[in-house]
Amino acid sequence: MVRKMGVYAVLAYVIYGLFFYWYLFHFADSSLPFEYQGTKADPATFLNGRELMLSEEYSKIRNLLFFLSTPFEWLFYFLILLFGFSKAFKSWAESSSKYKLLQTAIYLIWLSFFAFLATLPLSYISYNLSKTYNISTQTFASWMKEELIDFWINYGTLMIIVPVLYWLMKKSVKRWWLYAWILSVPFTLFMMFLQPVIIDPLYNDFYPLKNKELETKILTLADKAKIPAEHVFEVNMSKETNSLNAYVSGIGSNARIVLWDTTLNKLSDDQILFIMAHEICHYIENHIYIGIALYLLFSLFGLYLTYRIMNWMIARYGKELKIPDVKDIRSLPLFFMIISMLLFASSPLSNLISRYEETRADRYAINMTQNPEAAITSFQELTRSGLTQVNPPLLVKIFRYSHPTMLERISMLEEFEVQQRK
């Protein structure tokens, strides 16, 4: 039975992968509708032939990697349970220490290490793809350093969450999911507060914007929006990527405006001001706080569904999965697998909400700056630097795009430009 379940799981993953390969490379059509051809949203008007070809190639492969990566995690956790690795990790932990907390730490290091090794090849393929298409400028050593930073941050976070989670499971068999959610609220807010000043600097160097004239212009926009930021920060992303980005991060007194140095190097002041006005809208319309609230709401339903699904699966397949009880730490891979599945299933809705907020931010930015030419050319440069598809396939948009497509964004700006001329 165990071998049969393993074969079926691998076969299901292979069929799933073949479907998305066929969909992305042979079925989906990313060409522009006739009415948009020749407009400023048409990549043929601002990309050369080689850039057009590379954009299509890179996007297809990158999208395939996305659709393969998340279900691969499910397969990994399922096989870890099915072939007794989770049981073995617990046995090793118990034989290594008599203290419960240390046993949990040992179990987690084994599970985290195996998960790291299993997902590293796909991560490397993604990194190598970006290097091949000149998106990434990062050295292998720098990339590996960030992978290891991710590993230890994730491990440290799990060492906070997992002991509390399983303590709650033992204390309240029927309500652990609710108590876990209640504790997650202050933890989430605390991590959001720490993110810009503690976690982000582990990856890159942040420093005040060197261009003081541009900083003054940005802070003038920020002041109109009542953003409590005294400085604009620059981050040295050019050592890692040729892509462009800017954002407002943090909450409360830790809120900060951040520009990638690639953005500063490739865009004019007017283009940057449009992008910053877009980011400012997120702040003044409380999109950060709305996002936190929605995340907490989704996590409440997610934890409840996880509770129900875990109980059902262990009652029905506990013997095959080597899990005697939900509150046994051997069930942790099952917990991770279900959470990952629910996140993937909910991504179309969360992306839809995000695209709505991003559309509002685009409209706010163009109304604030009144410079459609700078806005349009900034999106065209974003497309070029990231080799982004202007009109991605439907499933890619639904599952991947937290922002409107470039076709939608540039077309909206062109409509504003036409209205402005009247």
Strands (E), 128-286: 206-208, 232-235, 246-249, 256-260
Catalytic residues: 279
Long-range pairs of 214-223 with CB within 8 A, sequence gap ≥ 24:
214/264, 214/269, 214/272, 217/269, 217/273, 218/257, 218/272, 218/273, 218/276, 221/273, 221/276, 221/277, 221/280, 221/368, 222/257, 222/276, 222/280
Q: Which residues contact 376 (CB under 8 A, 6 or more apart)?
A: 40, 410, 413, 414, 417
Q: Are 28 and 393 in contact (CB under 8 A)?
A: yes
Q: How far is CA 359 from CA 123, 181, 403, 410, 413, in A?
A: 31, 31, 8, 11, 11
H helices of 195-331, in order, are 212-224, 261-266, 269-284, 287-321
Strands (E), 91-236: 206-208, 232-235
Q: Which of 60, 59, 162 is nearest to 107 (CA)?
A: 162
400 Ramachandran zone, left/alpha/beta (phi>0; psi -120 to 50): alpha
Q: Could you tell me how far CA 77 lies from the centroid of its own chain?
A: 20
Q: Please state, in angstroms and rounded to a whole number, the distance separating the CA atoms of residues 361 and 279.
A: 7
